[in-house]
Structure formats: C-alpha cells, structure tokens
Amino acid sequence: MLIGEVSAATGVDNQTIRFYEREGLLPTPGRAANGYRTYESATIDRLRFIRAAQSAGLALAEIAQVLNLRDAGQTPCTHVSLVLEQKLAEVRARQQELAILARELKKLIETSHTLDPADCGPAEICHILTTK
C-alpha cells in the first residue's frame, strides 16, 4: 500500500507518517521498483494506536517505549497502565496549579476594577500587576 493510501485510511498526513518513520515509531517501509514506499496493512493499526496514545496524553517517547515492548513480543498493557496513572497524577497537579492561578487572576481583576488608570505613574508599566 502506498503512503497516500495509508494517509487516507488513517487521517495522518504524509509528512507525519515520514516523521514517525524517522523517529522509529513505524518500521522502515519497503520500496517498490519505482522507489515508492510500500506499507504493510499493520502500519494502519500502528498509526491508529499512535494517535490514540497521543489523545491519551502520551508523548512520542512514551509511545515508542510501548511500541518497543510490543515489538519485543511483550504485552505492554501493565506498562501503559502505569504511564496513564502517572499522566493522571500530572493532570491533577496541573489542575491544582491552574486553580491557584485562577484565584490569583480573579483577585487581580477585582483589584483592577478599583484602580484608576490615571493613578498609574510613569515608573509603573501597569499598576494592576504591581499592586499587591
């Protein structure tokens, strides 16, 4: 199957497919007599997995680890579960950080409603952000 057919079947553009090849996420395809890349049908499944893993928040390096485990004949499900647990912990930590930031922004907005722009001196860029 040619790269255009793989792209059409997966929604992954040609350049991304080539990038995944360079990064080792996809096996090097064969070549037809005319030099065109020829892909196995398993490439479609692999690309779908890569996209699903990205949607779950996995980085390409993490996806490569999973693919390497599978390519070595191992079932990577336990590894994936651990990675997903770590991702969830990271998301929850980021949510806490964002909640703190939201409270700080709300305070700044409330403060901005009480300040007069005319009171902002030439040494200040904007007294909304420098007033505590």
What are the boundaries of each domain within the chain? 1-75, 77-132
pLDDT computed for residue 131 by the predictor: 63
Q: pLDDT per residue over 10-36, tens digit each?
A: 999 999 999 999 999 999 999 999 999
Residue-wise pLDDT for 93-113, tens only, equals 999 999 999 999 999 999 899
Segment among 50-54, 64-68, 107-111, 126-130 with least mean pLDDT: 126-130
To the question of pTM greater than 0.85 for the whole model, the response is no
Scored b (16 or more CB within 10 A) or e, 3-20 reads: beebbeebebeeeebeeb
What does pLDDT average to over the chain?
94
Is the CA virtual torsion 113, 114, 120, 124 positive or negative?
Answer: negative
**Where does 1-75 sit in CATH, by number?**
1.10.1660.10
